[in-house]
A and B are shown apart, each in its own frame.
Chain A
Amino acid sequence: MKSRVLVITSGKGGVGKTTTTANLGTALAMMNKRVVLLDTDIGLRNLDVVLGLENRIVFDIVDVVNGHCKLKQALIKDKRFEGLYLLPAAQTKDKTSITPHQMKNLVNELCKDFDYVLVDCPAGIEQGFKNAISGADCAIVVATPEVSSVRDADRIVGLLEASGLNNPQLIINRLRSKMVKRGDMMDIEDILDILSIDLLGVVPEDESIVVSTNRGEPAVMESSSRAGGAYRRVARRITGEDVPVLSFEERNNIVDKFKQMLKIAR
């Protein structure tokens, strides 16, 4: 199989790029894929803590690029999942420590050993963004159903296409179905209408994300987590499986549950 390089980006900060990268990577590894996660947020690394691997960092991405260590030495192996690795960002350098050309070479090197290279992109549209997208063959845009996030996503889509990364895929994150229902939050259709790009998945707002980040265990490991379940479905879609997008109707009352049972019976 030809390896795939996916960059996870958003423009706006705090919409869930790192959480998405950690969860998709873990979910793909759970499907027995060989996955490496690349943190390109130099100076503000966080993918290590979300994955619970912060205590095992010796070398980082800048050390590799500058030849201070071998690539294999800097890769951190996740003990929980066979085939899951992290290449952490440097914390004491800045985003100009790497050039897009160096990044491209690094990604090409990783492609020899892995099925999937997931690149966690920093917020913004400057050097860090240009580095992160330089080696990618596909882009995943994460947006929350808010005006500011969708606006930035639109800008990112334009910049991606200008760099030759066509057909970016959208993940709508932190959707609150209750608010959508009462007309106080944009729905999936509204966002797709505005951005006119393909939908890769929808992840509901879920407190379990906070809990799993506290513990350093991605939510996909928790079978009861709704967001985790959504990420597992996205991962299956990435591997080419045809998985329908759920609408995340919250069924609270007995009548709804009964209706649902009837639907299944039919």
Chain B
Amino acid sequence: MALLDTITRIFMKDSGSKAVATERLRLVLVHDRSSISPGLINALKEDLIKVIKCYMEVDEDLLQVSLENEDDSVALVANIPIKGFNRVVNE
């Protein structure tokens, strides 16, 4: 069977299971490494509110911040409903 295996590999140009292993590892590590504690996300949320409040009025209860994993990337997604804008003061 080993010989048959080798022959199939030569003709099918199969790269062996190593390629699968490295690819799966890369994906799983993107997820593993992106795990941030809920406390940190909360702190980020509060800071975001503080900054945005200087410019516009936001609905603090509906504000959502989360990390989203795509195939091979991680994105910070923030959903921030706006209630109104502060009057712009020109300097």
Contact residues of A with B, CB < 8 Å?
146-147, 150-151, 154-155, 158, 180, 182-187, 190, 194
Contacts and interface: CB of A to CB of B under 8 A. Distances in A.
Contacts of B38: none
Contact of A183 (B15, B24, B25, B29): B15
* Top-8 shortest CB links A-B: A183-B16, A184-B16, A183-B18, A184-B17, A190-B22, A147-B21, A147-B25, A183-B15
B18 A186 contact: yes
Contact of A186 (B6, B9, B22): B22
A146 B25 CA distance: 9
SS of B interface (majority): helix
Nearest to A150: B25
B32 A183 contact: no
B28 interface: yes
Given A154-B33, A155-B32, A158-B33, 9 more contacts: A147-B21, A147-B25, A151-B28, A182-B9, A183-B19, A184-B18, A185-B18, A190-B18, A194-B22
Interface string B19-61: 1011011101100110000000000000000000000000000
A190 B28 CA distance: 15
Interface residues of B, number: 17
B19 A154 contact: no
Contact of B18 (A150, A151, A155, A187): A187
A151 B32 contact: yes
Contacts of A151: 25, 28-29, 32
Nearest to B20: A147
Nearest to B16: A183
17 contacts: A147-B21, A151-B29, A151-B32, A154-B32, A180-B18, A182-B16, A183-B15, A183-B18, A183-B19, A184-B17, A185-B18, A185-B21, A190-B18, A190-B22, A194-B22, A194-B25, A194-B29
